[in-house]
Structure formats: structure tokens, C-alpha cells
Amino acid sequence: MNAEIITIGDEILLGQIVDTNSAWIAQYLGQADIAIRFITSISDRREDISKALSEASSRSDIVIVTGGLGPTKDDVTKNTISEFFKSPLVRNQHVLDHVKQIFLRLGRGEMPISNYGQADVLECAQILFNDVGTAPGMWVERSSKCFAFLPGVPFEMKFLMENRVMPKLASMRSHVHVYHSHILTAGLGESFLAEEIADIEASLPHYIKLAYLPKIGLVRLRLSATGTDVNVLQTETDKFADRISERLSKFVVARQDISLEEAIIKNFAEGHLKIALAESCTGGTIASNLTKYTGASKVFDCGIVAYANHIKQGVLGVRKNTLDEFGAVSEQTVIEMAKGVQRLSGAEYGVATSGIAGPTGGTPEKPVGTVWIAVVGKNEMVTKKFQFNNNREVNIERSTMQALILLWNLYVKELV
Amino acid sequence: MNAEIITIGDEILLGQIVDTNSAWIAQYLGQADIAIRFITSISDRREDISKALSEASSRSDIVIVTGGLGPTKDDVTKNTISEFFKSPLVRNQHVLDHVKQIFLRLGRGEMPISNYGQADVLECAQILFNDVGTAPGMWVERSSKCFAFLPGVPFEMKFLMENRVMPKLASMRSHVHVYHSHILTAGLGESFLAEEIADIEASLPHYIKLAYLPKIGLVRLRLSATGTDVNVLQTETDKFADRISERLSKFVVARQDISLEEAIIKNFAEGHLKIALAESCTGGTIASNLTKYTGASKVFDCGIVAYANHIKQGVLGVRKNTLDEFGAVSEQTVIEMAKGVQRLSGAEYGVATSGIAGPTGGTPEKPVGTVWIAVVGKNEMVTKKFQFNNNREVNIERSTMQALILLWNLYVKELV
């Protein structure tokens, strides 16, 4: 099945917001083996909406439309789709009661009449009841095509996709099953991984596909199998995943669809190990990336953002001599930072970064993009120097990921 | 002038990457009064590329195409656009030398023959020379429409937009000038701001437009004037911006197009003031947001991510009694955290956060989303309790922005 996404509204066209909804929908449907072939962003002009809908219905089986359903935008989008499907708008009492209740619960008092339109839905549509917001979603089937109209607010859209749209799609293709098996790897580039497992990939049956999903220092492998017998799919896919994992063993971080941060949190929590961070050039970004995930508190107690030398000395105990002799961006300094925060926090692992994120502050000897990272573990220690480029944002992002990869590698080494 | 964006490549359609390029281009062109009416994402299928190009050229003056120019994708996209414009691909020596040089500089040695295709460009195109990468951009004018083909790598795309595409667009419409005046406000919602300045907005001449660009706790106002006499535009727009700023005075953070973080860094640096952070529930995100910007080191020396109570006690000096009696998420604790990090770092301002980011960890008394923030300044102090929702990511983001807004407000208060 082919799907496409249409987003309606000016915010994306004005660049006020980045279209994260489409990426989420694409990933989510991709996991169910439904491929997105087009994403179109349009404003809520009548002619643009009609044209986008008719083009989409001419080429895709499923059309997911987000946005354009808010209380102030109601008119144009809803009236246009009402015309498009030649189906009048009717007020739905169940939705109306729900919207009124939300108003009351939020303490906004009696709902103004202008908001009643929120409860108007296409007569021909099935309502995708929106438990978490005021704008109802709608589902329309027409000439063997399906249209889902969803609000643009991300968590409302996700709620409706997961709880209303996916069950419908699943029932439409109840005979088709999709099974995924994931392998998260670190430390080997996409093309090298592909070479390593070329023979296994070549031997995959036609119903199992392998995707390489790379991201700074990491590559996620996803085996997707599509078929009718879910048990066969699972057995066969896992068999190949096992073979790949075995082949790539020293690069495998996780056999699940999780991030490196989540893998670290999970493994360290199971091993009752703690991480402490001493960040200079990454400026809190490693801590922020870890604490994004639930459960971070099990493995992370303490992060020091030691942006100034007097904090490296005063809080982390880096020696003045070290800073004077080797500078803040040096192997010696990051070692003392990592050991310092390890001591301060009592954590088993200490991670430290120091570098010149840029765009200013470089010298001929230490140009912008020079970054030192140290990780100290229970018995061992690893340090590494990186030479990134002169984009501050990119340098911080890469330093963060590389620090987490070094931490993971030392953890694995000490496990053995 | 109308413009539209076409992105080519599977990464966006698979949801592997979020399309930040389009948002950037839309904002960037919007500042030059060039409106984006459509954004289309397609894969590098030949028929999809041709169709997208012909539709775009039928309705827009300017078509910006990103992606599909990498060394492995060269063939499909370039061959398709070569057919579309009926113009052969020719190898450009200048580009070839440049690509070879990049290979050498990166220590990759002699460039493989397979990469020579990078230097192939449409005969009818003007080359948009790419100083920062290997894939050259191309500019094609056809039947009074302009097409820019740019690589998808964000910093290469931005380099070419700013240095190659914009000068061309500017010269095409040398008689048209666009002038912007920005006002960044904090603390008042969009609709309340609009009410406050309704009379001024109503009195704007037809050539000056006012846009409200909201973002958690902040609203950016942008006055955009389009016309032929740049001096008139500037004088008139600034006059209205002055009136608006005066009316909204206590909510105005900056009269420039900058973020709150940048405004804080700029003002604190000018006042020789330092900020220290003691973060619990925000987990380093405030530090990360500040250090994203160049110049952060002038105002920020020290951040402590005190995720565990023993770090709040041991590093920040929060009293055990306070934690026992009031809990980690309390006004008393955040005050001691803020004062603790102020003392530890010697900074004039200390900011502290403590809350239950969720999704677990809530109690009936302190449900998920409960966040306390404290800011201590030179003489005064402010604390505030927030009740956010149940989404961890959103809670961290809102806590971060609210902490920065409280910091800004206390700074302003102490200035007087």
C-alpha cells in the first residue's frame, strides 16, 4: 500500500515550525510496511487543498491530512473537503459535548458559540474521536481510497494515528503482517557494515528487507518482513538478525529499536552502574541527551558543566599546572576532569569533554573543531582526540555522540 | 514573487530525517518577502522528479530543489533534470579540480573515477559554486522561471542560498526592497499582545505587515515592509516598531531578530554579569540551550546537573533538613540550589530547577509536571511553581524556557 501526507497550514510554509509530524507519520507507517511516496505542504487556500486532495487520490491508496482543523481555521479546510467529497457538514452531538467538557475542565467557562463549529464533521466521514483535544479527526473512504483528516497538534495527531487510524489500516489488511527486527550498531560506517554482511544480505528471502539507518557514529539495521504467517515471519527474521548480530558482534549495542542513550541507561541500570559527566565544549548537551529519557535518574546523578577554567579547577579539581602547561583543550585536562567528576559523584564512570566548538577561539595549533574526550571506568580509561569542522552546532552534536560511543565501548570492554 | 520547495530523496519520506531545510529556506526567503506556497517531498524516482518540476514551474516563479545531488544519487536526479530541461550534462573542470582537492585535503587520497560525475553539470545551468562541499549547485532560468538545485546537506544548502542564490534573486528584483523590524517579547500571549496594540496594527500602511511568531512563553513580532525606497521603508517601519515597543515596553526583550538565549548572553556580557545553573528536572537542557550560542562563555562559567539528592547536598550545599522536610521538588530546595550554585561559581545570577518531568514519579500531592524554578540575583530573588502536563519532553522544554524568562525578568527588575 502507498500512502502520502498532506499538511495544511501556513506555519510550515512560513518556516515558523519544522514539520516533525510528517517524519513521525512516515516512520510509524513505514514500520507497518506502508511507504510514503509524497509529502506536500500547502496553505489553507481552497484551490490548493482541492488540488492536493485530487492529486493525492489519483496516486495513493491512503492519504493522511494533518492540520487546518483548529477552531479558527475550521471554515476553509472543512468546507473545502465537504465540497471535495460532496458531503455536507453536520454537527455531532457526542463531539460537541466532549468539546464543551474540555472547556469546562480547563476552567475556561462556558464555551463561546464560535467554537461550536469544532463539532461539525462530514456526513460521509467516520469520526476519529479525539480524546486528547477538541478537534475531531475524520476518516473517509471513497473509490477504494482512504483519507484520514487529523489535527496538526503533534500529540493529538499521534494519539489519533495510534488509536484510531492504525486499527483501521490493520483491519483493512488483516491478512498482512509486518515484523521488524532491529540491531543498533556503533563504530562502523554504513558501507563497511554492508561489506561485512554482504553474503547474509544477499541470502535474505524476498519478503525480508534490510534497511541501513545511519546517524553520527551509529548505524541502525532494520530487518522488515512482510507476509501472512506472523510466526514464520518472526522466526525467519530473528534467524537472520541473529546471524547479522553474531557477525557484527563487537559493534552491536542493542537488539531493540532504541537509541544509544536508552541502551546505556538500560545496561548501566541493570549493572547498577552510574555515570557522571564533566562537560566543557558540549556545554550540558550530553546530560540533556541522557535525561531526555525516563530512567536516566537510575544511572545519572551528577553532571558538571565546567565552561570556565576556574570551575574545572575549583569544582572538578583539575590542577592549575595541567591547565597552564597543556591548556584546557588537552588530553591531560579531560583526564583530570573525568576523574574529578567520578570522585565528586562516586559514579563508576566519568566522561569529560573539552574542545573548541567554534566558530571563534581556534589557534593554529588547536583549530576550531579540536575536541578531546576522556572516559574513565572502573579499571580502565580511554581518551580520544577529534578534529571536527567549524560549525558550532555540528561540533557539539558530534562530540556528544562520540562521548557516548566511547562510554559504551569502555563499558563493553570492562564487562568482559 | 512566489516560490516553492522540492526536496528529493528517501530520507524524508522514510521519516529518517526531519525536513529542517524547508523551514530554514521558507524563513530565509520570507525575510526577503518571497512567499513559499508549496513544499513537496519526493523520492528520486524519475517520473516523480519530472512531474514535480513541471507542476512547480506551472505555478511558481522560483523553484528551490534540495537533495538528490550526492555522489551515489547523481545519476537519477541529474539525468532527469537534464532531460527535463533538454540540456546535456557536461563535465566542469573548475568543479572537478575543486572536488579532487577536497578529497586530497580530507586525506582520502586520489579521488576514485566514480566520483568524477560530481563535476557534471547541466550545460544550460549557471554553476552555484559550492565552497563548502563537493556537490555543485545549479541555477537554471527557463521561460521566466528560475530553478535552483542545491545539495541536501544543511550547511552546504545554507551556504549556497546565502552566497549564490540570494544575490541572484536580489539582482532580479533590484527595484524591490524588503525591510524588517523585529521585537522579541516575553510574558504575554499572542492574543493579549494583539489586543494591546490593536490600534497601532490597524493604522499600519498597506505596505507594512505585522506577523506574530509565538514560541513557549515568547512572541516575536515582525514588521515587514516592501517597497522601492529603502530609506522610507526603514524610517516608517522603525517608527511603528518604536510605537509598538513603547506600548509593550515591559514585555520587550530585544529589538533584534535573536533568541531569548542570545538576548541574555548579549545583555549579561555587556553588564559583565555571569549566570550559574543548578538543574535537576531540566537535566542540562538550560546549559545546552545557552552554550549553543557563540559568546556563551562570556556569561556562563558553571552548570551543575544535580539529578540526585546527594549531589544537591554535596555539591550545591542544599541542607538535608530541607530535602527531608520539603522534598526535592519544593520552593525551599530550588532556592538553596540556586544560592548554592551562585556561591560555588561566584556568578551574579543563580538559576535552579527541580520538578517531576515524568512520565513516572508523580504523587497525588506533586503530580507529574510539577516544576519549581528559582532565580537569585544580585539583590532579589524570584521563585515560581509550574504545573505542566504529562509529556516528559514538553515538560523539560517548557521548564527550560520558563527558567530563562524568569532569569530575564529578574535581570530587568534589578536593572531599574
Q: Rg of chain B's alpha carbons, rounded to an integer?
A: 26
Rounded to the nearest 10 degrees, the angle between the axes of helix B74-84 and helix B46-59 is 40
CATH code of B20's domain: 3.40.980.10
Q: Which of B44-48, B76-80, B372-376 has the highest mean pLDDT?
A: B372-376
Q: Chain B residue closest to A12 (CA)?
A: B23
Same domain, B292 and B337: yes
Q: How far lies B272's CA from each of A6, A135, A330, B140, B267, in Å?
A: 50, 49, 28, 51, 9
Q: What is the pLDDT of residues A159-175, one digit of tens each?
A: 999 999 999 998 888 78
Same domain, A141 and A234: no
Is the CB of residue B95 less than 8 Å from the CB of residue B118? yes
**The three cell numbers locating residue B13:** 519520506
Residue A334, pLDDT > 80, answer: yes
Same domain, A310 and A246: no
SS3 content of chain B, % helix, strand, coil (to 5): 45, 25, 30
d(CA A55, CA A4): 10
Q: What is the mean pLDDT of residues B29-43?
A: 91
- Chain A residue numbers touching B294 (CB-CB < 8 A): 358-360, 392
Chain mean pLDDT for chain B: 92
Give the least confident one: A340-349, B66-75, B296-305, B323-332. B66-75
Q: What is the mean pLDDT of residues B90-101?
A: 92
Q: What is the mean pLDDT of residues B58-65?
A: 95
- Residue A19's H or E segment, with its range, is none
Percent of chain B predicted with pLDDT > 90: 73
Same domain, A53 and A10: yes
Strand partners, B63: B4, B147
CATH code of B230's domain: 3.30.70.2860
Of the residues B147, B172, B197, the one at which a domain ends: B172
- The DSSP-derived string for B110-134 is SPPGGGGGGGEEETTSEEE--TTSS
Same domain, B269 and B366: yes
Q: What is the pLDDT of residues A245-260, one digit of tens each?
A: 999 998 999 999 999 9
Strand partners, B218: B186, B215
Q: What is the pLDDT of residues B373-408, one digit of tens each?
A: 999 999 999 999 999 887 898 899 999 999 999 999
Give the least confident one: A75-79, A364-368, A392-396. A75-79
Same domain, B142 and B11: yes
Q: Provide the pLDDT for residue A108.
A: 66
Phi, psi of A211 (to 5 degrees): -115, 140
d(CA A183, CA A245): 7
Q: Provide the pLDDT for residue A120.
A: 92
Residue B105, pLDDT > 80, answer: no
- Chain B residue numbers touching A219 (CB-CB < 8 A): none
Same domain, B359 and B398: yes
d(CA B86, CA B127): 17
Q: How far lies A384's CA from each of A13, A284, A348, A403, in Å?
A: 43, 19, 19, 9
CATH code of A378's domain: 3.90.950.20
Strand boundaries in B129-237, DSSP class E:
137-142, 145-150, 177-186, 208-215, 218-227
Residue B258, pLDDT > 70, answer: yes
Same domain, B308 and B404: yes
Same domain, B22 and B89: yes
Q: Provide the pLDDT for residue B158.
A: 95
Percent of chain A predicted with pLDDT > 90: 73
> Domains in chain A: how many in total?
3
Residue A244, pLDDT > 90, answer: yes
- Chain B residue numbers touching A20 (CB-CB < 8 A): 18
Q: What is the pLDDT of residues B312-360, one digit of tens each?
A: 999 999 999 999 999 999 999 999 999 999 999 999 999 999 999 998 9
Using a 10 angstrom Cβ sphere, with 0-12 exposed, 13-18 middle and 19 or more buried, the burial of residue B174 is exposed
d(CA A410, CA A402): 12
The conformation of residue B81, written as its DSSP 8-state character, comes to: H
Same domain, A204 and A287: no
Q: Provide the pLDDT for residue B40.
A: 97
Q: Which of the residues A39, A59, A396 would you substitute to probe the B interface, choosing the one with the greatest number of B C-beta atoms within 10 Å?
A: A39
* Alpha helices, DSSP H, located in B10-143: 10-13, 20-30, 46-59, 74-84, 93-105
Chain mean pLDDT for chain A: 92
Q: How far lies B180's CA from each of A193, B30, B226, B234, B242, in Å?
A: 50, 10, 9, 8, 13
d(CA A352, CA A384): 11
The conformation of residue A163, written as its DSSP 8-state character, comes to: I
d(CA A63, CA A78): 16
- The DSSP-derived string for B349-400 is EEEEEEE--SSS---SSS-TTEEEEEEE-SS-EEEEEEE--S-HHHHHHHHH
Q: What is the pLDDT of residues A99-123, one digit of tens each?
A: 888 878 766 677 777 778 889 999 9
Is the CB of residue B345 less than 8 Å from the CB of residue B326? no
Q: Which of the residues B222, B289, B311, B344 would you substitute to probe the A interface, choosing the one with the greatest number of A C-beta atoms within 10 Å?
A: B311
- The DSSP-derived string for B212-261 is EEEETTEEEEEEEEEES-HHHHHHHHHHHHHHHHHHTGGGEEESSS--HH
Name the band, by pLDDT with cuts 50, 70 and 90, for residue B171.
Answer: confident
Residue A368, pLDDT > 50, answer: yes
Q: Provide the pLDDT for residue B91.
A: 94
Domain that holds residue A393: 260-415
Say whether the peptide bond before residue A359 is cis (omega within 30 degrees of 0).
yes
Q: What is the mean pLDDT of residues A278-307?
A: 97
Of the residues B206, B232, B254, the one at which a domain ends: B254
Question: Which three-class secondary structure state does DSSP give residue A348?
Answer: coil
Strand pairing class (A145-150; A62-66)? parallel
Same domain, A128 and A152: yes
Closest C-alpha to B218, from B1, B408, B405: B405
Inter-chain CB proximity A315 and B344 less than 8 Å: yes
Q: What is the pLDDT of residues A70-93, one digit of tens each?
A: 665 447 889 999 999 999 999 999
Inter-chain CB proximity A155 and B24 less than 8 Å: no
Q: Which residue has the higher pLDDT, A71 or A4?
A: A4
ipTM of the complex: 0.85
Q: What is the mean pLDDT of residues B85-100?
A: 94
Rounded to the nearest 10 degrees, the angle between the axes of helix B260-270 and helix B392-415 is 30
Separation in Å, CA of A29 to nearest CA in chain B:
9
Of the residues B154, B172, B190, the one at which a domain ends: B172
Q: Provide the pLDDT for residue B69.
A: 79
Nearest CB neighbour to B291, from listed A23, A27, A284: A284
The Cβ-side half-sphere exposure at B166, using a 13 Å CA radius, reads: 16
- Chain B residue numbers touching A296 (CB-CB < 8 A): 283, 307
- Chain A residue numbers touching B37 (CB-CB < 8 A): 13, 42-43, 48
Q: Provide the pLDDT for residue B73.
A: 47
Q: What is the mean pLDDT of residues B200-206?
A: 95
Q: Provide the pLDDT for residue A71.
A: 60
Q: Provide the pLDDT for residue A107.
A: 67
Same domain, B108 and B123: yes
- Chain B residue numbers touching A315 (CB-CB < 8 A): 302, 304, 315, 344
Closest C-alpha to A181, from A248, A247, A226: A226
**The three cell numbers locating residue A65:** 491530512
Q: Which residue has the higher pLDDT, B101 or A127?
A: A127
Nearest CB neighbour to A304, from listed B304, B308, B393: B304
Is the CB of residue A353 less than 8 Å from the CB of residue A380? no
Residue B72, pLDDT > 60, answer: no
Q: Which of the residues B301, B345, B392, B396 would you substitute to probe the A interface, choosing the one with the greatest number of A C-beta atoms within 10 Å?
A: B301
